[in-house]
Amino acid sequence: MDDDQLQIFATWFHNDRELTGGDTPAKRYAARPDLPEDERAAASRIAGARLGFHRVIAVEPSSWLVLEDIVRGTRARVRSQNVSREAVGWDILLGRVMDGDPPSLWGPTRFFEPCDEPELLAELERLAGASEKTDEAALTRALRDNAIELMRFTPPGWSVEPSFFTLEGDPVAHGSAIWEARDLAAARDRLRDLGGLRPGEPIEVDITVPRDAVVRGRPELPPGAIVLEAGPIDDLDRVPVATVRLEGAELRAEAMSEARLDRVIEIVGQDFGDLAELSDREVVPIEQRLDERRSAPQCPTPLPPGLTPADERRLVGGFMTERMRRWLDEPHPQLDGRTPRAAVASNDRAEVIRLVRGIENGVERASRRGEPFGEVGWLREELGLEDDLAA
């Protein structure tokens, strides 16, 4: 066992393992008649520190945490120098709160993300064998009797391989098509007209569609799905589905999926007619492209000229803030296809709260690491969750 596993085992061995005749080793030690009173008091606090399933409500790094016991519904401000340095708001913490003035943490701890909470609760209910999810006594016994299993538990979602999809729910791929221009001058003029290009501008056109039309019919995506999108930061209401440009005597198009590529081939056929003839079409799955990239020598990506790291953080942070404004009104797979704004007034309100907790948790972690992050504090008020999340 490594050091972490050894700590988990040793804590279970003394605090949770029931001996023949009753009590744990820690409780039997605390009951020894020869102990000085101060040592007995400390040993009793240690013996009473049982595993708990906590949500981090507030943190002061290097000082304290406010923990909400998810099973019992109680809260405590807990002294902690080390664990508080790692924690951010809405983390899920498996650990032991030891009585005291103030209470403190005892033994090893494990952190999980807010999105892991359902899987952790499901495992706890499975171990409890409880027929009712609200059976607090059964869940408390499961925490006590299965402490070592829970501290070693890995949520099934951690082993799900990521898969990549477009906004409309198609598998991401690198699609490209080439047409031979039969009349180069006429093809150039046609592309300029279609894109409203001015003299001197690159002969390149983005084909865009309204964002709400793209996401409206998106199917439910599998666990581990990551939705990729690309587009201009100044107009998130339209989504570019393909790019068409003139290179030499060829028209070239690129798209993020096979479905988008087929659509752009159809559009070019309608707009250019006999001016261009399709000569090549290729679709490469994103997984193959990622494998190629991993095997290639990696070089740092340079920033655009004149863009400092601070400029980049502001630019990306602004984009992420605007992206969240649209998130409110887009169908979400975890909400049965409803938008967060619609679901918050339904039986899915608890799931919306969990999603917002996850967003706030990710933003705080990004802020601590000095990475770009969006402003999301307004989400609570916009969804009417201020009381739920600030309670």
Same domain? For 52 and 153 the reply is: yes
The last residue of one of the domains, among 159, 184, 205, is 159
DSSP conformational letter for 81: S
Q: Phi and psi of 32, rounded to 5°?
A: -65, 130
Q: What is the pLDDT of residue 334?
A: 80
Distance of alpha carbon 287 from alpha carbon 172, whole angstroms: 9
Task: From 250, 243, 247, 244, select the one nearest 182 (Cα to Cα).
Answer: 250
Angle between helices 117-128 and 136-145 (to 10 degrees): 90
The answer to whether residues 184 and 284 belong to one domain is: yes
Would you state the pLDDT for residue 230?
77
* DSSP codes of every residue in 264-303: HHHHHHHHHGGGEEEEEEEEEEHHHHHHHHHHSPP-PPPP
In angstroms, the CA 206 to CA 327 distance is: 23
Taking the CA of residue 125 as centre, how many other CA atoms within 13 Å lie in the half-sphere pointing to its CB?
12
Same domain assignment for residues 265 and 231: yes
Are residues 24 and 148 located together in one domain of the fold?
yes
pTM for the whole structure:
0.79
Q: Is the CB of residue 162 less than 8 Å from the CB of residue 226?
A: yes
Tell me, yes or no, whether 339 and 216 share the same domain.
no
* In-domain check, residue 303: no
Helix (H, G, I), strand (E, B) or coil at 162: coil
| Residue that finishes a domain, picked among 232, 260, 295 | 295
**One domain for residues 139 and 116:** yes
| Tally of domains within the chain | 3
Q: Are residues 145 and 203 in the same domain?
A: no
pLDDT for 250? 93
Give the pLDDT confidence score for residue 356 in this predicted structure. 93
Q: Which of 109, 143, 159 is the last residue of a domain?
A: 159
User: Residue 129: its pLDDT value, please?
Assistant: 85
Separation CA 258–CA 171 (nearest Å): 8
Domain residues for the domain of 97 are 3-159
For strands 225-227 and 163-165, give the pairing.
Answer: parallel
Q: Is 217 exposed, middle or buried (0-12, 13-18, 19+ CB in 10 A)?
A: exposed
Same domain, 169 and 142: no
Separation of alpha carbons 25 and 14, rounded Å: 5
Tokens 């570019």 belong to which residue? 240
Following CA atoms 158, 85, 51, 390 in sequence, which dihedral angle do they give, to the nearest 10 degrees?
A: -90
User: For the chain, what is the largest distance between any 2 Cα atoms, rounded to a whole number of angstroms?
Assistant: 101
Three-class SS of residue 312?
helix
Assess if residue 304 is contained within a domain. Answer: no
User: Would you state the pLDDT for residue 234?
Assistant: 67
Q: Concatenate the DSSP letters of all residues of 29-46 into one string.
A: HHT-TTS-HHHHHHHHHH
CA distance 81 to 83: 6
Distance from C-alpha of 107 to C-alpha of 50, rounded to nearest angstrom = 10
CATH code where residue 86 lies: 2.40.50.140
Residue 233 is predicted with a pLDDT of 63
- 193, exposed or middle or buried, with CB in 10 Å at 0-12, 13-18, 19+? exposed
Question: What tokens appear for 45 in the block?
Answer: 């606090």
Q: How many CB atoms lie within 10 A of CB 111?
A: 15
Nearest to 108 by CA among 65, 158, 52, 157: 52
Whole-number Å distance between alpha carbons of 265 and 277: 11
What is the distance between the alpha carbons of residues 223 and 76, in angstroms, rounded to a whole number? 34
Residue by residue, pLDDT tens for the chain (391 residues) are: 889 899 999 999 999 999 999 899 999 999 999 999 999 999 999 999 999 999 999 999 999 999 999 999 899 999 999 999 999 999 999 999 999 999 999 999 999 999 999 999 999 999 988 555 558 888 988 898 899 999 999 999 899 888 999 989 999 999 999 999 999 999 999 999 988 988 888 899 999 988 888 887 788 888 888 888 877 666 778 888 999 999 999 999 999 999 999 999 999 999 999 999 999 999 999 888 888 777 777 666 676 777 788 888 888 888 888 888 888 988 887 888 788 999 998 888 989 999 999 999 999 998 888 888 888 889 988 999 988 776 6
Enumerate residues 6+ apart whose C-beta is below 8 A from 378. Answer: none
- Token reading at 232: 């201009």
Burial of 339: CB neighbours in 10 Å, binned 0-12, 13-18, 19+: middle
Q: Which run of H or E residues covers position 383? A: helix 378-383
